[in-house]
Structure 1
């Protein structure tokens, strides 16, 4: 499990776009490179500024980092110089500098297979080559071989360890068109790049890449990518071939805006932090996503959001840019407890006892002649057959399949295919359910709901939607976001009709419960509209709803009185009144005539 603690302001920034970065220091401190000429050192516990340095001549081009081995600070100036200084140094102008032949992109910290647990400083050049700091300083006049193309810009770089060898992973942007992922094995004993160097394009048709990070999991390393359709993909590392693509589908995140870039940071073996715009397009969203179980375990909302979003991991703290300030958000990762995740979505609320939860295993069936009988194939709709087969073979969840397909079906008003999805899927996103109801309610003339056998297709369609298990909070959010008050009144009228039929038609308890749940959520979503409205039609609809609810309450009270008698009959007990209440009898006789 994961949770956030109270956030606090770390320091102010004069220009959030000019901020070069935040790096971990020693003794619970951080070093913040505010711009090209200003560096400060702050303590996290009380946000006190302990040191500051400035430079007038040479300009910083990447964030300053703390070298724990030599106990000094290292910075890159004008892309070609490296300077080192200590805490007691007051001026950077006098610090010794080393000039390099190749331009430097940034300084990396690597400690994954370091026995001393002290991060080793790695110099990353703009051409993709790397050297450890000691080797780089001793050979600063030597040129380094090109790993990436000149048209590419490095956006993310890290060194991973797979238990046998170290690998350099670089994600680049090619001419502002698409991203590429490079994987290069490093020679044993040093950080020299060996052969071969593999690369793959991070590109999916019809979507754009919003964010990415490198995750060092317990079972292996991977590049996680988040796309504009809300899908999260995992690309295993090291790369097996140059045709890996974006990897396999991992899950969907639908609580964050998918119209702007997001910042993603690995915070554990199975957790990532994701920071971006709020789903309402107002403010910012910060959450911790469990990659193993596919759920958001912690989330926080903020009123301000900067584009592009920026985030750094400092021990157990996430440092984010918010307006003209750096904000620190502490978090905790606790032992994984699967039981605590159950109920995060109301997907299996129909399961009442553990005995109803079955494990599906492969079986074989033979006919009387001994021939193996194959189970009948699923009759997929022609319009989505190929996509369904592809998604199923890739191991997509029902939620992910519905998220990918049903949006297009709603736009094309394909009622038959949508009805097939409703009959075969139970984990359908709430926003799609709301949009389908909206589609049905706005079809006043039944132009898209036509049935040749005379069956009321619209009622069948709406009743099936209302019977799908939903998460009340997500449903409430999507009703507020997608419905207007006219849609609300139309649905209230339909729900009122269902409640009135509950007493005369064969309506199951589950259907009645679903109708009541939708009714309560709908009234919660538009509570203020009903309170403030003076429209006679609105008042009439509310009064009609009240009458139906009161009738149902009376019916429920009558049923409560009948239940004990019915239970007694089921147990074989007599329900007639007894003439005597004990083991004796009373007789009356005349003593005198």
Structure 2
């Protein structure tokens, strides 16, 4: 699951696009080379300037941070490198390291490795080696007619390499891979060409020790080429992994990797009105998130700083926080067949048209195993089977059925969906929760469930009164199933804020506070704690500003429960080494007899 949060401006631009944006020593900061003479460090959380520098010499490459030397490094006038730290104020007074060969840019590596200096002729040297050889004649890997467009650091068979995207005078793009601090020929020189197709964007991806070249073309095809020391020329640009229709194929796009299997692409909207930012899951070949902008600039650039994407929107540099969460495979694929349980005997020849369906939910196997086939088919609603036969995913099933079930007060159907569909959407889950808390107990009388196979979170005699809402036994059945249903905190938070009022939130928190001290099942206790945390997060401001004594008492009750659990854990920590000594058969340490004395004498036997 991928999600793009709301975009917010970081700073106005001097030119159409900044020279570059790089990561800082602090994870929450970004180094923005705003113009030819200005460098600013921004704190992304509050959009404030942490520090800034200016110089008379022109910056010709993005400023980077050297994690080894703990200094900022910049290229001026393509031939000078300067180094400074936070205490330096005037960049004009810094020492100049002059080079005989023009420099293209600086590329950061891992935190335990110094940056790499990329020269315009294709030579790639580590920073310390470049300072030593700055007056030497460096042999490059590129012909004189080729110019560098972009550089990446990749690991090729566990060897650090520099990938250079270069273009010749005829407009043909090549992908050149060279080793750092090596005078040998390039490992690869791959022409990025497809007949009658135009290259719109490219990037590199690193996944499980393997590097990939990912390219996007004018026919909407996204290609991936695995990179290794021995890439065959007949492989070309690799194989097509998906067709992307979310961005326009008439303009160039910017691409960058944000996770092992996730790629961010920024380009023009297909309608040619504004821009579009999308996140593509390269494992399942699906667009998982997208965000539209009113203005699009031809100078498309995209940078990743931690969990944030930085891009040019209009005349500003904008920040788009993103979130990557646990994948729901069923929702990604869009079809499933777990509901087609049959007990017919197979014939001698049978054509198998379905694949084995597995569930990542630990409890679903037990649920299905405890329910016989006849009970399952008897409980399964007819419309569920009909939609499942048509290939509806679990999420789509819930979207179709939950609203109609609630309108008809068909609580048996709701309970069936909650029990047998592990991929229950968070939006529908909150809708059912609000209905359960807001509906009178009389509406739950028609609910049928097997008392022998269902167990409550806690046992109560008769109805339970929770201050704000009265819960009958059958209401508790639905509520307990909802609490046991898995969910994603990132997805459910907006729905809780919009669909659940403070009264509902408080009633549920009181129910959780009532259940927690008596709970014995670890899984149920974890589910209750997850719900308590997400409810406090979703209604934080309302709970904080409320002067109601009921709110205060409920929050204090939860606080006391958490503190008691923390004290219990601390006691277990003290008891743990004693139990381990007993388990290993070691004697417990004898108490020291000598106490409250200035000195003691011990006899040591040396031989």
Q: Note if 1:130 corresponds to 2:129.
A: no
Structure-2-length-normalised TM-score: 0.55
- Cα distance, 1:245 vs structure 2: 1.3
Among 353, 356, 376, the alignment partner of 1:358 is 353
Q: Residue in 2 aligned with 1:574?
A: none
Q: Deviations over 1:16-55 (max 9, x none)?
A: 24x2011111222111111111111111111111222111
- Cα distance, 1:86 vs structure 2: 1.4
Q: Note if 1:216 corresponds to 2:206.
A: yes
Q: Residue in 1 aligned with 2:42?
A: 42
Between Structure 1 and Structure 2, how many residues are aligned?
Answer: 350
Report if the CA contact (8 A) 1:127-1:149 is conserved: yes
The residue correspondences of 1:108-119 to structure 2 (distance < 5 A) are 108-111=107-110, 117-119=111-113
Cα separation, 2, equivalents of 1:219 and 1:335: 22
- 1:340 is paired with a residue of what secondary structure? helix
Distance 1:294 1:318, change over 3 A: same
Among 245, 251, 256, the alignment partner of 2:247 is 256
Cα separation, 2, equivalents of 1:313 and 1:302: 18
Cα separation, 2, equivalents of 1:71 and 1:205: 47
- 1:22 is paired with a residue of what secondary structure? strand
Q: Deviations over 1:53-79 (max 9, x none)?
A: 1112x2110111111222221100010
Q: Residue in 2 aligned with 1:182?
A: 176
Cα separation, 2, equivalents of 1:334 and 1:193: 43
Cα separation, 1, equivalents of 2:136 and 2:186: 22
Distance 1:196 1:321, change over 3 A: closer
- Cα distance, 1:134 vs structure 2: 0.9
- 1:300 is paired with a residue of what secondary structure? strand
Report if the CA contact (8 A) 2:158-2:209 is conserved: no
Distance 1:109 1:340, change over 3 A: same
- Cα distance, 1:144 vs structure 2: 1.3
- Cα distance, 1:173 vs structure 2: 1.4
- Cα distance, 1:195 vs structure 2: 4.0
Report if the CA contact (8 A) 1:198-1:241 is conserved: no
Q: Residue in 2 aligned with 1:106?
A: 105
Q: Residue in 2 aligned with 1:300?
A: 291
Report if the CA contact (8 A) 1:130-1:193 is conserved: no
Cα separation, 2, equivalents of 1:195 and 1:322: 41
Over the residues paired in the alignment, what is the CA RMSD in angstroms?
Answer: 2.5
Cα separation, 2, equivalents of 1:236 and 1:106: 26
Cα separation, 1, equivalents of 2:328 and 2:182: 42
Q: Residue in 1 aligned with 2:565?
A: none
Cα separation, 2, equivalents of 1:25 and 1:349: 45
Q: Residue in 1 aligned with 2:59?
A: 60
- Cα distance, 1:335 vs structure 2: 2.6
Q: Note if 1:145 corresponds to 2:139.
A: yes
Cα separation, 2, equivalents of 1:96 and 1:194: 32
Cα separation, 1, equivalents of 2:20 and 2:170: 23
Larger CA deviation: 330-339 vs 194-203: 194-203
- 1:251 is paired with a residue of what secondary structure? strand
Q: Deviations over 1:463-483 (max 9, x none)?
A: xxxxx9999xxxxxxxxxxxx
Q: Note if 1:247 corresponds to 2:246.
A: no
Report if the CA contact (8 A) 1:200-1:244 is conserved: no
Cα separation, 1, equivalents of 2:8 and 2:227: 36
Among 266, 269, 274, the alignment partner of 1:275 is 266
Q: Residue in 2 aligned with 1:82?
A: 81
Distance 1:193 1:156, change over 3 A: farther
Report if the CA contact (8 A) 2:246-2:270 is conserved: yes
Cα separation, 1, equivalents of 2:247 and 2:281: 15
Q: Residue in 2 aligned with 1:15?
A: 15
Cα separation, 1, equivalents of 2:9 and 2:266: 17
Among 169, 175, 178, the alignment partner of 2:163 is 169
Cα separation, 2, equivalents of 1:123 and 1:219: 24
- 2:309 is paired with a residue of what secondary structure? strand
Cα separation, 1, equivalents of 2:339 and 2:245: 28
Distance 1:154 1:357, change over 3 A: farther
- 1:258 is paired with a residue of what secondary structure? coil
Distance 1:301 1:218, change over 3 A: same
- Cα distance, 1:300 vs structure 2: 0.7
Q: Residue in 2 aligned with 1:315?
A: 306
The residue correspondences of 1:382-421 to structure 2 (distance < 5 A) are none
- Cα distance, 1:269 vs structure 2: 1.2
Cα separation, 1, equivalents of 2:165 and 2:318: 27
- Cα distance, 1:192 vs structure 2: 2.0
Q: Residue in 1 aligned with 2:94?
A: 95
Cα separation, 2, equivalents of 1:130 and 1:207: 31
- Cα distance, 1:156 vs structure 2: 2.3
Q: Residue in 2 aligned with 1:2?
A: 2
Q: Residue in 1 aligned with 2:25?
A: 26
- Cα distance, 1:194 vs structure 2: 3.0
Q: Residue in 2 aligned with 1:159?
A: 153
- 2:277 is paired with a residue of what secondary structure? strand
Cα separation, 2, equivalents of 1:204 and 1:84: 43
Cα separation, 1, equivalents of 2:352 and 2:96: 67
Distance 1:280 1:353, change over 3 A: farther
- Cα distance, 1:202 vs structure 2: 0.6
